[in-house]
Amino acid sequence: MGNKQTIFTPEQLDAYQDCTFFTRKEILRLFYRYRDLAPQLVPLDYSDKPDVMLPYELISSMPELKDNPFRQRIAEVFSEDGEGNMTLDDFLDMFSVLSEMAPRDLKAYYAFKIYDFNNDDYICKSDLEKTVNKLTRHELTPEEVSLVCEKVIEEADLDNDGKLSLEDFQHMILRAPDFLR
């Protein structure tokens, strides 16, 4: 890649490497992925930090997110404006947290935010219902959904306030055998 130097300054690349779990090559690859979403919007020179933001529609069309039931939440959580429109920084941030190298604590924190649909710092029953419906594409009956949600709260709610706080969530999810990536 001969034009590597022109996209980012070496300092920028170093800073990105410090802030994410990626290597230099991966950062550049991600940049190209980002740029491929809207080549006419994203300049090839990022050394002077252009203020570019890609709309949610473009972000969610990526194959990584296209089939994910939580794509909108993911984009919202990671975007600066909370509406799914992403700058390159947000973009890198998202992939860094979702990458294999990120520690479980960090993932748990962001997972909590993703499942917290109404942003009130608690996962309450309505959040759970939304989650179940997204996971099953509304194929469970409302009774089943509410049963599942009650079960979840019963299992994971340690302080009995009827909703899951971040601590409850971490306590539960860090023990899960499947919570690896």
CB nearer other proteins, residue 41 or residue 165: 165
Task: Say whether residue 116 binds other proteins (CB under 8 A).
Answer: no
Task: Say whether residue 124 binds other proteins (CB under 8 A).
Answer: yes
Among 5, 69, 142, 167, binds other proteins (CB under 8 A): 69
Among 5, 9, 36, 151, binds other proteins (CB under 8 A): 151
Among 33, 55, 140, 170, binds other proteins (CB under 8 A): 140
Task: Say whether residue 54 binds other proteins (CB under 8 A).
Answer: no
Task: Say whether residue 6 binds other proteins (CB under 8 A).
Answer: no
Give me the DSSP letters along the chain.
-TTHHHHS-HHHHHHHHHHSS--HHHHHHHHHHHHHH-TTTS-S--TT-----B-HHHHTTSHHHHT-TTHHHHHHHHSTTSSS-B-HHHHHHHHHHHSTTS-HHHHHHHHHHHH-TT-SSSB-HHHHHHHHHHHHTT-S-HHHHHHHHHHHHHHH-SS-SSSB-HHHHHHHHTT-TTTT-
Q: Least Å distance between CB 44 and other proteins?
A: 20
Task: Say whether residue 60 binds other proteins (CB under 8 A).
Answer: no
